[in-house]
Amino acid sequence: MATALTHLDSFGQSIEREAVGLRFGLVVSKWNSEITEALYQGCFKTLVGAGARVEDITRVSVPGSFELIYACNYLASTKKFDAIIAIGSVIQGETKHFDFVCEAVAQGIKDINLKNEAPVIFCVLTDNTWEQSKARSGGKHGNKGVEAAAAAIEMTYLKKSI
């Protein structure tokens, strides 16, 4: 949804639907916690601002972005949530580990979406530098968590309308 020319927070301001009565699962990676916590806060505040009750938002923490796959799949299998948001941050290092983790997480989240009813939103930053991650987690480009919350609400209504 976002591009270099679009401020991520603008998606939170354009939410056309309310989150009243909806249940959300937020799965948050502890790796790069300064980034993921900021993404979580942006997401949480946007959901509550759209009418979601605090008690209808469940947070689950996992060690790293790779573990988002298991936790999101487990939450989806419970059928207790209208939408799930995977929140992570992978920053390019000196090895191919970045490529493997990014590919696995993207494919894993895609697979969960294809086999479960609750949409799983991809709120995983895959940046080249710490500075890029900071810019997209509440910095000059806004907060990807806001965009993810807006997408979760929209996808929930799409599911209900079909």
Let me know if residue 29 belongs to a domain.
yes
| List 59, 97, 159, 160, catalytic entry | 97
Let me know if residue 1 belongs to a domain.
no
**To which residue do tokens 């799930």 refer?**
84
Here the CATH number for the domain that contains residue 106 is 3.40.50.960
With bands split at pLDDT 50, 70 and 90, how would you rate the model's confidence at 15?
Answer: low
Q: What's the angle, vertex CA 111, arms to CA 108 and CA 113, rounded to 5?
A: 115
Let me know if residue 3 belongs to a domain.
no
Q: pLDDT > 70: what percent of the chain?
A: 90
Let me know if residue 56 belongs to a domain.
yes
C-alpha distances (whole Å) from 24 to each of 43, 60, 90 are 11, 11, 23
CA neighbours closer than 13 Å in the CB half-sphere of residue 52: 28
Dihedral through CA 70, CA 3, CA 43, CA 90, nearest 10? 40
**How far is the C-alpha of 142 from the C-alpha of 77, rounded, in Å?**
32
Let me know if residue 66 belongs to a domain.
yes
Residue 141 bears catalytic tag: no
DSSP 64-86: SSTTHHHHHHHHHHHT--SEEEE
Left (φ > 0), alpha (ψ -120 to 50) or beta: where does 23 sit? beta
Q: What is the pLDDT of residues 69-124, one digit of tens each?
A: 999 999 999 999 999 999 999 999 888 888 899 999 999 999 999 999 999 999 99
Let me know if residue 4 belongs to a domain.
no
C-alpha distances (whole Å) from 55 to each of 23, 24, 129 are 9, 10, 35
Domain that holds residue 20: 10-161
Q: pLDDT > 90: what percent of the chain?
A: 81
Entry pTM: 0.90
Number of domains in the chain: 1
Let me know if residue 121 belongs to a domain.
yes
Let me know if residue 132 belongs to a domain.
yes
